[in-house]
């Protein structure tokens, strides 16, 4: 292996800060090869994050300058605060984007971590730079189109940045902090923050602008959810049946999905634990749930089935195409 690459791997992946190249003899070729593989994974992930955050920055900037700014519409969260102050004062938006989000970045450093804070600060600075220097055309003057598509591009930008491990709107960081402090849900905190922002918009701007801004927020929120959660919606299915072997084989052969089998004990009422059972767990797309129910009906009509929504999955067989028969 090239000595330069060996030194890089020693000092990054293997966390060996000594400068002497002879120290590499303390590591086997397997260890160095494994370190090289991990180093490549880290570099590719950083490159992927960079691309996603860059796309997010330009999408959000297009939403700002192509739609929202000319009509003085705002969004929720820290972005909405920046837009509201920009509409009421002569302070440029790019300065406000940094100034308003700095407290959230500091908060993110304390409750999430250093890497998140650095990536978020770079993402917000990049957004401010693009807003300040890049010219975008005014797409439309129609208020409804401005609200819907301005929110769409802004939400897409925020979602892509989150996919890249950063945020360009620090409201959720504040929501996480306050939810831990007061024992409420993150959703409740975000709703309260946005009620305050839109109430201020109605007072300082107009009720009409506040109402259109709520449409912007809804459009941005739905787009953000779509970008983060993905196109498909997944369902986790837990099945308890006396015919667990047949159920497992049906999921593998008929549906073409993987399964996980847990060992458990059945029990009911005062009878307590009765006997050992196998618990079958699988993850399907929501379009396959109906077929699963049909096949289960054929095997065991009394099977106990629990279904729960899943935001996204990684690995396994869920991404693969079902087997055809």
The reply to whether the predicted model has a pTM over 0.85 is no
Longest dimension (CA), the chain: 74
Q: Residues 106-135: pLDDT tens digits? A: 988 888 888 888 988 999 999 999 999 999
pLDDT score recorded for residue 21: 47
Characterize the bridge pairing of strands 273-285 and 304-310: unpaired
Q: Residues 55-88: pLDDT tens digits? A: 999 999 999 999 988 888 888 888 889 989 988 8
Which of the two residues, 151 and 163, has the higher pLDDT score? 151
Average pLDDT over residues 149-166: 90
Candidates 309, 247, 317; CA nearest to 277 is: 247
Which of the two residues, 86 and 325, has the higher pLDDT score? 86
Distance CA 139, CA 148 (A): 12
Distance CA 169, CA 158 (A): 7
Structural domain spans, the chain? 46-229, 234-310
CB contact at 8 A, 83 and 89: no
- Count of beta carbons in the 10 Å neighbourhood of residue 111: 14
Distance CA 307, CA 290 (A): 12
Give the pLDDT band of residue 230 (cuts 50, 70, 90).
Answer: low
Average pLDDT over residues 243-267: 87
Q: Residues 159-207: pLDDT tens digits? A: 898 888 888 888 878 877 887 777 776 667 788 888 899 999 899 988 9
Sheet of 273-285, strands arranged across: 260-267, 273-285, 234-240, 304-310
pLDDT score recorded for residue 150: 92
Minimum mean pLDDT range among 6-15, 184-193, 253-262, 299-308: 6-15
Contacts of 152 (CB under 8 A, 6+ apart): 63, 219, 220, 223
CATH architecture of the domain 234-310 equals 2-Layer Sandwich (3.30)
Give the pLDDT band of residue 271 (cuts 50, 70, 90).
Answer: low
pLDDT score recorded for residue 28: 64
- Answer positive or negative: Cα dihedral of 41, 45, 46, 50: positive
H/E stretch holding 260 reads strand 260-267
Minimum mean pLDDT range among 22-31, 178-187, 207-216, 303-312: 22-31
Average pLDDT over residues 34-60: 85
With a cut of 70, say whether residue 146 has pLDDT above it.
Answer: yes
Residue 261 pairs in a beta bridge with: 280
Which of the two residues, 258 and 273, has the higher pLDDT score? 258
């Amino acid at each position: 292996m090239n000595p330069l690459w060996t030194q890089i791997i020693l000092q990054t992946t293997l966390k060996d800060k000594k400068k002497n190249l002879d120290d590499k003899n303390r590591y086997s070729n397997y260890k160095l090869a494994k370190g090289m593989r991990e180093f490549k994974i880290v570099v590719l992930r950083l490159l992927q994050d960079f691309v996603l955050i860059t796309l997010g920055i330009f999408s959000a900037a297009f939403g700002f300058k192509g739609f929202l700014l000319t009509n003085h519409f705002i969004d929720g969260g820290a972005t909405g605060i920046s837009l509201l102050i920009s509409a009421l004062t002569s302070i440029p938006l790019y300065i406000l984007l940094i100034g308003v989000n700095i407290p959230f970045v500091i908060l993110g450093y304390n409750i999430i971590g250093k890497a998140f804070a650095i990536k978020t600060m770079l993402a917000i600075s990049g957004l401010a730079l693009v807003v300040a220097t890049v010219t975008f055309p005014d797409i439309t003057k129609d208020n409804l189109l401005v609200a819907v598509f301005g929110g769409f591009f802004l939400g897409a930008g925020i979602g892509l940045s989150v996919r890249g491990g950063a945020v360009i709107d620090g409201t959720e960081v504040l929501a996480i902090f306050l939810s831990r402090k007061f024992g409420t849900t993150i959703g409740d905190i975000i709703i309260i923050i946005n009620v305050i922002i839109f109430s201020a918009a109605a007072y300082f701007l107009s009720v009409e602008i506040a109402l259109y801004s709520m449409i912007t927020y809804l459009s941005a929120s739905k787009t953000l959810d779509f970008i983060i959660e993905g196109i498909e919606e997944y369902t986790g299915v837990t099945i308890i049946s006396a015919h667990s072997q047949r159920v497992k084989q049906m999921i593998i052969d008929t549906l073409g999905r993987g399964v996980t089998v847990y060992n458990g004990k059945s029990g009911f009422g005062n009878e307590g634990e009765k006997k050992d059972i196998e618990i079958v767990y699988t993850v399907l797309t929501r379009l396959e749930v109906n077929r699963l129910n049909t096949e289960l009906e054929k095997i065991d009509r009394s099977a106990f089935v629990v279904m729960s929504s899943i935001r996204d999955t990684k690995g396994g067989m869920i991404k693969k195409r079902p087997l055809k028969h």
